[in-house]
Amino acid sequence: MSEDRPAARNVLAVIPPHMGGRSTGAGLAGLVPGARVTVVESADEDPAALREARAIITALAPVTAGHIAAAPALELVQCASHGYDYVDLDAARARSVTVCNIGSSGAEAQNVAEQTFALMLALAKQVVPAHTALTEADWALPRIQQSLTELSGKTLGIVGLGSVGREVARRALAFDMRIAYTGRRRAPADTESRLGDARFLPLDELLRVSDYVSLHAPLTPDTRHLLDAGRLALLRPTAFLVNTARGALVDQDALADALTAGTLAGAGIDVFDPEPPTAALRLLKAPNVVLSPHVGGVTRETLVRIALSAVQNVVDHLAGEPPRDVVS
């Protein structure tokens, strides 16, 4: 059978420009032996490659119902991330197309946890306003001194104690923080014990008692705007919110309102809805925020782990092996 036929080992790798585009995906072809790998920056870019693809690897690029309909040979959509909200799962199910993430690989966990603490420390120590003031020859210490705080002794509320959430909790122990968490189910007792006798709380109670809240939940229809205006109002005015998971977990306008009103001490945000954010996003101009452009999970080391994990699942699928981390 010709390699150009739909049943051949054709793989479409979709890497949008804001994730590095074709230059980032240039090395993928050599990781899938015996396959024809086409790297594009959107799934619409090469209709012929989409039509012939048996597998799509997507790095946060949308795979819509239209894309799935236009790919009659498609068997697998492999998300190069923990998240999978950018794939139309209903359309995939209707076509019996398997959708996988890299959830069990832990590829992103280390760096996302580090980015979480980078944001927490920047907020606690007022790093950004202090730096900006000094570049303008302004000795800001008298002005920011009352806003400086410590992590030690504070309660960190973790929303989602998966692989990333557990890495965040481990680091929190090194800062002598107390740990509370919430999620769909309670963690085993030995996990709680290893994490400093972490407390399992309902979400609303966790928001009320936490000094820092860090989001590590997947984005699903049930978790979209999980933190809306009502839930943000449960946070103490001295509390900080950190989101390194998905932008749409938070009502961004409501968060901007809370920061502007001073009912929340600050926020560290690495993820936005949409990405990249538009200039009209009020959160970009809100007070007491530290922002980063979705850098959690994209260090040199992390990208290698992500790529290897995603590609290995595709290689296994093409070889007839059952895929890992099936989400639909």
Strands annotated E in the chain: 10-14, 36-40, 55-58, 76-79, 98-100, 155-159, 178-182, 199-200, 212-215, 240-243, 266-269, 289-291
Active site residues: 246, 275, 294
Per DSSP, the three-state class of 159 is strand
3-class DSSP state of 175: coil
Class of residue 290 by CB neighbours under 10 A (exposed 0-12, middle 13-18, buried 19+): buried
Tell me whether strands 76-79 and 155-159 are parallel, antiparallel or unpaired. Answer: unpaired
What whole-number distance in Å separates Cα of residue 326 and Cα of residue 328? 6
Q: Which candidate, 244, 256, 195, places its Cα nearest to that of 217?
A: 244
Cα gap 174→201, rounded to integer Å: 22
DSSP 13-62: EE--GGGTHHHHHTTSGGGSTT-EEEEESSTTS-HHHHHH-SEEEESS--
CB atoms within 10 A of CB 97: 21
Sheet holding 212-215, edge to edge: 199-200, 178-182, 155-159, 212-215, 240-243, 266-269, 289-291
Distance from C-alpha of 328 to C-alpha of 317, rounded to nearest angstrom: 15
* 223: three-class secondary structure by DSSP: coil
- The answer to whether 219 and 193 are in contact (CB under 8 A) is no
Look up residue 318 and give its two tokens: 């093409």
